[in-house]
Structure 1
Amino acid sequence: MMIYLIFVILFFIVMLLYFKVAERYNIIDRPNERSSHKELTIRGGGIIFLFAALMAVILHTEFWIPVIAMFIIGIISFIDDRITLSGKIRIIFHLAAVTLLFVFLNIFQIFDWWVSVIGYVLVIGIINAYNFMDGINGITGVYSLIVLCGLQYLNLQIFNFIHPDMIWLPILASLVFLFFNFRKKAKCFAGDVGSVTIAFWIIFLLLKLMLMTGDYSYILFLSVYGVDSVLTILHRLKLKHNIFDAHRLHFYQILANEQRWPQLLISSIYGIIQLVIIAIIIFLPVNFAIKFCLTTVPLVIAYILIKPRMMVITRY
């Protein structure tokens, strides 16, 4: 336990040093008409997840391939936080990172080529959806913490699929990040470097778990984000919007910006709902179809029925 306390202290020191660097080099998030905040805030606090990945590979060198992949996708995201890059440049680095991940997990040996192609689309899609969901205080940290704790419970109590440090480290990083982000006026935002890196880390863990158990219901650990992301894309397609443009049509954004719900309350609700779903997935001995109907279908129905009533007439 002492080593984890040391890591927590170290993570706090890294965050405080990063704040100094960010202030020195003006790494600041400036609100615009699409933002859910109004104050200038330090961007890129999620760099703590890259530092946690560095600690992970120092402790467990056997994970050097996925950690290198995290750094590839994390560093390009940090650069994108500073200077907006074209989608073509970002996708090249995303493809490289996912390729390394698939090599480490032996995806190319286990599945046919067309399954691997679908895998690329799904993984990159999930990473970007996770990034798009990072729009209010606390949501990325709380949601990631819930998912990681669920994975660690599985890892320690039900099926050991990875060294616990590979989950403890992002859990500790999430807690330290939340100390600065889970506030009415956040000290820092995760930035693309944070949301993309932790998304990649969680996908790595989920893929490893699913491949070792053969149970693909664990993908429902991301069902809350998944429903909000997918249905929002469909909504924007219906409105004939460019789905790659910034917007405020996510359900959580409607709650925060139009209904004026407190951001920390919304983040907590998203996390609690996902926690309940994770409990159902872990403890209910039924097949994937039933778990999907019990967890994800109600979210879809709630989204379709509630969101339109909460929207006000405005321009997006």
Structure 2
Amino acid sequence: MEYILITIILFVSILVYFKIADKYNIIDKPNHRSAHTQITLRGGGIIFPIAFIVFCLFNFKDVCQNYWPFGLGLLAICTISFIDDIKTLSNKIRLSIHFISVVLLLYFTGAFDLMPFWGWPILFILIIGTLNAYNFMDGINGMTGVYSLMTLCSLVYINRQVVEFTDNNFIYYPILACIVFLFFNFRKKAKCFAGDVGSMGIGFWVIGLITLLIMKTGEYKYILLLSVYGIEVVLTIIERILLKENIFEAHRRHLYQLFANEKKVSHLVISSVYAICQLFVNIFLINSQLPIWAIILIIFVPLGGIYLGLKWMLKKEYNL
């Protein structure tokens, strides 16, 4: 009954936001780099920080004792991202808030106590890089929501069947938020887009859960719960560097963008394929007893090969 009530609250919250976004013209206008063609409400991903606020209301005592650093980090990064959705901010401001949020996240997960001092910069780079990967990959209907939902469901299974690393509700709430968001986004003509507030918000939550899991088990293989995104972003960045392009400028070189824009494949099909690929990786990852270097090779070599092969095929077909 609790989860039905939470779902209703989240559903009503996003409908209220739609009214506000429509009144204040918080929209996404398509341009030559966009994978969509219609003006659409932006910032629907505000549902994720709202989900944490609802989590606080239903779990007030635990939040006060254990989750406040995560909450401050999440709300800070979502606030600055939402402002950036409306009005472009300088990189210095955004990166400063990102830095503070990651510090709070690492404090929440106990990384400062469990990791040696020299490992802290590596964690910072990995987390900020993964957050930006989430943002880069948020370009077509359903991608952020379905991919995150698949990863969160995998984390639920790990928490219940493999090792308990957090309270189940801390995973269930973002799952419910994903489901509500996807009701409006997983469509041929989306009612709303996640915006930076959504990609950063759910990315921060997923990364927080994975970091908790790694700190609990000491197994760094769980970074690969986001390996499909990782392979796509890293290989695309390498390609852009080789082409001497500015990697911080918007582009249409991601594989999913080529399928959506040039091949005209349905956004929903593409998003589903990415999520299913990550699901197969997660199943292998959870059940594998191999050393991490072997797991990385088994995952990255075939996925990287498939990515490069499809990219070469599309570029040749469309003379890109």
Residues 1-316 of structure 1: matches in 2 within 5 Å?
A: 2-58=1-57, 59=59, 60-61=62-63, 62-311=66-315, 312-314=318-320
Code of the aligned partner of 2:285: I
* More divergent stretch after superposition (165-174 vs 255-264): 255-264
Alpha-carbon offset, residue 108 of structure 1: 2.3
**Alpha carbons 1:57, 1:64 under 8 Å: kept:** no
Aligned to 2:82, the other structure's residue is in SS state helix
Alpha-carbon offset, residue 87 of structure 1: 1.0
Alpha-carbon offset, residue 265 of structure 1: 0.3
Alpha-carbon offset, residue 53 of structure 1: 1.0
Return closer, same or farther for 1:285/1:112 CA change in 2, 3 Å cut-off.
closer
- 1:279 & 1:97 partners in 2: Cα distance? 30
- 1:98 & 1:214 partners in 2: Cα distance? 19
CA distances 1:30-56 after superposition (whole Å, capped 9, x unpaired): 000010000000000000000011122
- 1:272 & 1:234 partners in 2: Cα distance? 25
CA distances 1:190-226 after superposition (whole Å, capped 9, x unpaired): 0000000100101100011011111111111000000
Code of the aligned partner of 1:42: L
Q: Which runs of 5+ in 1 are unaligned?
A: none
**Alpha carbons 1:41, 1:186 under 8 Å: kept:** yes
- 1:129 & 1:208 partners in 2: Cα distance? 20
Code of the aligned partner of 2:19: K
- 2:219 & 2:114 partners in 1: Cα distance? 15
- 1:302 & 1:64 partners in 2: Cα distance? 42
Code of the aligned partner of 1:313: N
* More divergent stretch after superposition (264-273 vs 295-304): 295-304
Return closer, same or farther for 1:9/1:36 CA change in 2, 3 Å cut-off.
same
- 1:19 & 1:104 partners in 2: Cα distance? 32
Code of the aligned partner of 2:211: L
**Alpha carbons 2:110, 2:215 under 8 Å: kept:** no
Alpha-carbon offset, residue 303 of structure 1: 1.4
- 2:120 & 2:293 partners in 1: Cα distance? 23
Alpha-carbon offset, residue 286 of structure 1: 2.1
CA distances 1:212-249 after superposition (whole Å, capped 9, x unpaired): 11111111100000000000000000110000000000
Code of the aligned partner of 1:6: L
Aligned to 1:46, the other structure's residue is in SS state helix
Q: Normalization by structure 2: what TM-score?
A: 0.96
Alpha-carbon offset, residue 158 of structure 1: 1.4
CA distances 1:258-308 after superposition (whole Å, capped 9, x unpaired): 111111000000000000000001123322222222222211111122202
Following superposition, which runs of at least 4 residues in structure 1 exceed 6 angstroms of deviation? none
**Alpha carbons 2:114, 2:215 under 8 Å: kept:** no
**Alpha carbons 1:49, 1:197 under 8 Å: kept:** yes
**Alpha carbons 1:138, 1:183 under 8 Å: kept:** yes
